[in-house]
Copies of this chain bind each other. A is one copy, B any other.
Amino acid sequence: MSSREQAFIMALRQIAGDPAARNLSDDAAILARPTGDLVLSHDMIVENVHYLSNDPPETVAQKLVGVNLSDLAAKGAKPLGALMGYSLGIDYKWDQAFVKGLASACHQYNLPLLGGDTVALPRHTAHFSGMTVIGLAPSCGAPDRRGAKAEDDLWVTGPIGDAGFGLRILNRRKPIDNPLTEILIQAYRCPVPRLEEGAWLAPYVHAMADISDGLLIDAKRIAEASNLGVKVNLDKMPLSKEAIAYFGDSPTTRLQAATAGDDYQLILSAPSSCRHKLQHLADEKNFGLFRVGKFSQEKGLSLYNQHGLITPPSNLGYEHGCNC
């Protein structure tokens, strides 16, 4: 084993202290019998697909953890542990910085690192990593994407579009000179999984998912999976004050935000009879909750604002492989 690989694994062991990890010295991790149903998800991130080559390695690790835990959040689950698949990066310093970011994210979300695999890649191969997260389903059951009912309200838990705006800023050639941009770039690089919100909301929702590919496409996916249609009011969609300050608040900006992806806010359907209960819950727990539309028997996605119906754009969001 190269000294580089050894150093990497030694560093991982520092953050794999849970007995279930068996010190990363066994063929497998052993997790004590869970007290309920399990929620399992696996997401990968690839250089120049899900993050930029010059993103700091610490934030690449935080993104890996964030996007995976976001799937648990969408099912109201409590994280039990993670296994990571990692391809050794550009250089030793890159790997060490990645582990630093991983340690920070695992600590922040109380996520035990249980095991995984590391590979050295042939040259000229894009760097990638994958993570499997295991969570404990809420006692009410894990909400399904397929559970929305006609006349349900459509809600989201926070500002839409920040990550997409952050990516736009990073893709510009001119230097970043506005302090607001840091917040938008952070939204792109370090998505926050809405774990507490997911757990609080799970008992009340008919369907819940996370917005990974864009508000419009993810709303449409819930509708289609539930054999329904959905109406979205773009004016009700929350934008952050940073996005408004930097990009303004126009119908065009709102459409860009609604189709940008990488938000990792939760998107949910709940009966209108729960409307006040949900608003009270959000006030009590101090989290964002914004009613942005409605599900309907009439199929398809309808988009409107104060001026009336809008023709949905041909590209509703980021479309990639199996987002399961």
Q: Give A residues with C-beta under 8 Å from B.
A: 1, 5, 8-9, 12, 21-22, 24-44, 46-50, 70-72, 74-75, 77, 81, 83-88, 114-122, 124-126, 128, 130, 132, 134-135, 137, 142, 144-146, 209-210, 225, 319-324
A71: contacting residue among B28, B37, B50, CB under 8 A:
B28
What are 7 contact pairs spanning A and B, CB under 8 A? Answer: A5-B321, A28-B77, A33-B35, A44-B119, A49-B120, A119-B321, A124-B125
| A32 touching B37 in the complex, CB below 8 Å, given contacts A83-B132, A132-B83, A320-B5 | yes
Q: Nearest-CB distance from A35 to chain B (Å)?
A: 8
Return chain B residues, CB-CB under 8 Å to A209. 26-27
Q: How many of these chains are in the complex?
A: 2
Of all chain B residues, the one with the shortest Cβ separation from A135 is B28
Whether A126 pairs with B134 at a CB distance below 8 angstroms is no
Residue from A46, A48, A77, A128 with most neighbouring chain B CB atoms (10 Å)? A128
Of all chain B residues, the one with the shortest Cβ separation from A115 is B324
Q: Nearest-CB distance from A50 to chain B (Å)?
A: 8
Q: Nearest-CB distance from A22 to chain B (Å)?
A: 6
Return chain B residues, CB-CB under 8 Å to A119. 44, 46, 49-50, 128, 320-321
Instruction: Report the Cα distance A42→B43, complex, angstroms.
Output: 13
Return chain B residues, CB-CB under 8 Å to A9. 321-322, 324
| A1 touching B39 in the complex, CB below 8 Å, given contacts A30-B75, A130-B85 | no
Residue from A26, A29, A74 with most neighbouring chain B CB atoms (10 Å)? A26
Whether A116 pairs with B42 at a CB distance below 8 angstroms is yes
